[in-house]
Structure 1
Amino acid sequence: MSRVFWVRHGPTHARSMVGWSDLPADLSDAAALDRLHAFLPPGAVVVSSDLSRAADTADAIARGRARLPHDADLREMHFGDWELKRFDEVEDQAHIRAFWEQPGDLRPPGGESWHEVTARVDRAVSRLIAAHPGHDIVAVAHFGVILTQLQQGLRIGAYEAFGHRIDNLSVTELTRAGDGWQVGRINHRP
């Protein structure tokens, strides 16, 4: 049995689609970081996306836990030409609407589809569990990354997964037991 504690990185305060852009996290809420650190299992290993908003958050909460190298496969979805744009700034409104309303194989120009990001994150999770069998894993990542795993754990479609709120500095807990996932807390704010 392996438990993965998914932590969403600290806030960037961006009001646009932020995928692979390396925006910093606002980690000024020391009390929230202290509560998060205290909530997470002390013997867990900590891994993060290689983007600074996730890596810096992981460093801020690891505090004595084994810190694994950054994993680029835990990056947020690649929004391609839509990167750092608001929904209403995208010229092809039919395309972006279909992308969010029917997530699957459709991708932003120069970006990746929901199925592609899911496959990428699944590979990373499989590697982590194989390398650390039976250990608790704290994975500091991004909204879309966490939703890919929540979708599988809840056995729902991507559109339904998008309906879940995943706040900055929240914890979503999934347990790998046998061949499937069991979902614990979702969007928990310690």
Structure 2
Amino acid sequence: MTDFKVTTIDLLRHGACEGGEIFRGSTNVALSDKGWEQMRAAVADEGGWSQIVSSDLKRCREFSDWLAQDRGISVETDARLREIHFGDWEGKLISEVREQYPQEWKTFFGKPSQAVAPNGETMADFHRRVTPAIGEWAEQLRGQHFLVVAHGAVIRSIMVNWLQMPLDAITSLSVPYAGMSRFKIFEMKGSEPWAQLVFHRG
């Protein structure tokens, strides 16, 4: 490694999906027509990526495949970048979950570090899944500018880690459909890497 390296990482959430306002989690649903429009608009004036890294769920992967072909770059999928598994909440309307699971709902948004949907993945385990995954990609693509296409909680998990925020802050960050954030990772010989948030369209 040279004395100084800068890696630029764009984080793009998938667009609106079929099925309305439900907990999707690991459910493999497709983008709606509106979702495709949102994502195309989000990247219309962006570029310069050497590679795309995508969740393997099709609401991310199908757009990533299209974009990679459109821009003439490669795409890799990583199952570790899947959305958190919502267990019994998956496929249920958000309003329904709020009514049926009032205590779990309060914990999920008020103390997310202790949260888990019934039969789902804990937020802590989810964070431990995502953090090394993005770290490995940043290491592999060091010095490059690449795009990550993933899910709302995945992007929030990455953000709280790079901004050195507590996990309980994860629900304080707004990441809308097709929202994009850019980070730069700076590495200098003899010191720990540090992350800088360049912009956040949330």
TM-score range normalised by the length of the shorter chain? 0.7 to 0.9
Deviation at 1:103, TM superposition (A): 0.8
Q: Does 1:61 align with 2:61?
A: no
User: 8 Å contact 1:43–1:65 — kept in the other structure?
Assistant: no
**2:195 and 2:125 mapped to 1: Cα distance?**
20
1:80 to 87, 110, 115: 87
Match of 1:164 among 159, 173, 185: 173
* TM score, norm. by length of structure 1: 0.87
SS at match of 1:175: strand
Partner of 1:103: 112
2:58 paired residue number: 52
1:46–1:65 contact (8 Å) kept in structure 2:
no
Do the aligned partners of residues 4 and 98 (structure 1) sit closer, same or farther apart at CA in structure 2, a change above 3 Å counting? Answer: same
* Structure with a larger share of its residues in strand: 2
Amino acid at match of 1:57: F
Identity of aligned residues (%): 23
Distance 1:125 1:47 in 2: 9
Q: Which has the larger radius of gyration?
A: 2
> 1:89 aligns to what?
96
Q: Measure the CA separation in 2 of the matches of 1:185 and 1:132.
A: 20
Runs of 4 or more consecutive aligned structure 1 residues displaced over 6 Å after TM superposition: none
Q: Which of 173, 183, 186 is the aligned partner of 1:174?
A: 183
Q: TM-score, normalised by structure 2?
A: 0.82
CA RMSD of aligned residues (A): 2.2
- Residue 22 of structure 2 is matched in structure 1 by 16
Corresponding letter in the other structure for 2:119: G
What stretches of structure 2 of length at least 5 have no aligned partner?
1-5, 188-192
Distance 1:130 1:3, change over 3 A: same
User: Distance in 1 between the 2:109 and 2:41 partners?
Assistant: 33
**Structure 1 residues 68 and 77: alpha-carbon distance in aligned structure 2, compared to 1, 3 A threshold:** same
Does 1:39 find its partner at 2:39? no
Seen in structure 2, the aligned counterparts of structure 1 residues 32 and 161 have a Cα distance that, compared at 3 Å, is same
Residue type of the alignment partner of 1:18 = R
User: SS state of the match for residue 52, structure 2?
Assistant: strand
Structure-2 separation of matches of 1:87 and 1:136: 36
8 Å Cα contact 1:33-1:60 kept in structure 2? no
